[in-house]
Amino acid sequence: MGQYDTQQVCLNGHQITENYHRSPEFRRKFCAECGASTIYQCPSCKHEIKGHYHVEGVIAIGFKTSVPTHCENCGSTFPWTEAKAKLASKLAKKSEINYFGFVEQICSRFHLVAKQMRTRHADRESLHVNDEYDAQDLLHSLLHIYFDDIRPEEWTPSYAGGCSRVDFLLKDEKIIIEVKKTRQTLKARDVGEELIVDSRRYRAHPDCKKLLCFVYDPEGWISNPCGLENDLNKKEDDFELKVLIVPKGH
């Protein structure tokens, strides 16, 4: 018959050693992987955590004792089990948040905000969205309503022999935002051609899972905005392209 040794585990669930008594030289006060403190007993009942099972004369190769989730003596949850459950819950909640929808909502209300900015108390100086840079500045401000890490003019990897900058990267959310403002020399056909090239280039960016192309068209140079959106929008397993033209109709 054999007997069990004891294992030492850090508070985040990394196993330090499964031979706490047999090989004391492997003991550690802190985890080398994450820096957390280590334990070898249940914090509730002080029962030692079951480690490797030794049988005299038998050498086990390729076998490793798993880290338990609960104490076999009192049934209490080990600290790493609670930590992993909280992390999983946090990640699940974060994944449920539709960050792409937040960006769409901001862009869809952009024209209303731009018009409101023209009317200020006592005729104070205001922001007029006259070109693409004005549109970028206003959108950048509005994105701060929902997002903290907004990276303007992020470089994309080389594509077809060249590289360019995206207007905004939301790194944590894996979203890239491209901003265009129509003008007499940038109408529906030109916008469509540019967005096709942009989408191929931006897809090569390691942090781009969703691409929103926001086209601000206050003068109505695009006669069929819904048609252009439908022609360019696409959704695949690992990539989504959304074109949003605002406003629609005058």
pLDDT tens digits, residue range 14-46?
999 999 999 999 999 999 999 999 999 999 999
Regarding whether 117 and 77 lie in a shared domain, the answer is no
Average pLDDT, the chain: 88
Is the pLDDT at 164 greater than 80? The verdict is no
Which CATH number is 101's domain given? 3.40.91
β 50-54/151-155 pair status: unpaired
Compute CA 209 distance to the chain's CA centroid, rounded to the nearest angstrom.
9
Regarding whether 83 and 110 lie in a shared domain, the answer is no
Regarding whether 107 and 89 lie in a shared domain, the answer is no
pLDDT given at position 119: 84
Domain with 50, as residue range(s), is 3-93
Write phi, then psi, for 100 (nearest 5 degrees): -65, -35
Regarding whether 218 and 155 lie in a shared domain, the answer is yes
Last residue of a domain, one of 93, 125, 145: 93
Instruction: Return the minimum-mean-pLDDT range out of 10-24, 31-45, 144-158, 236-250.
Output: 144-158
pLDDT given at position 158: 46
Regarding whether 124 and 76 lie in a shared domain, the answer is no
Regarding whether 133 and 24 lie in a shared domain, the answer is no
**Percent of the chain scoring above 70 in pLDDT:** 92
Rounded distance, CA 220 to CA 249, Å?
Answer: 7
Tell me which residue of 142, 131, 134, 150 sits closest to 108, measured CA to CA: 142
Last residue of a domain, one of 43, 58, 93: 93
Domains held by the chain: number: 2
pLDDT given at position 155: 66
Q: What pTM did the predictor assign?
A: 0.60
pLDDT given at position 61: 67
Beta bridge partners of 3: 54
Regarding whether 153 and 36 lie in a shared domain, the answer is no
Regarding whether 171 and 136 lie in a shared domain, the answer is yes
Of the pLDDT bands very low, low, confident and very high (cuts 50, 70, 90), residue 157 is: low
Q: Which residues of 40-53 are buried (b: 16+ CB within 10 A; e: fewer)?
A: bebeeeeebbbbbe
Last residue of a domain, one of 93, 115, 138: 93
Regarding whether 78 and 105 lie in a shared domain, the answer is no
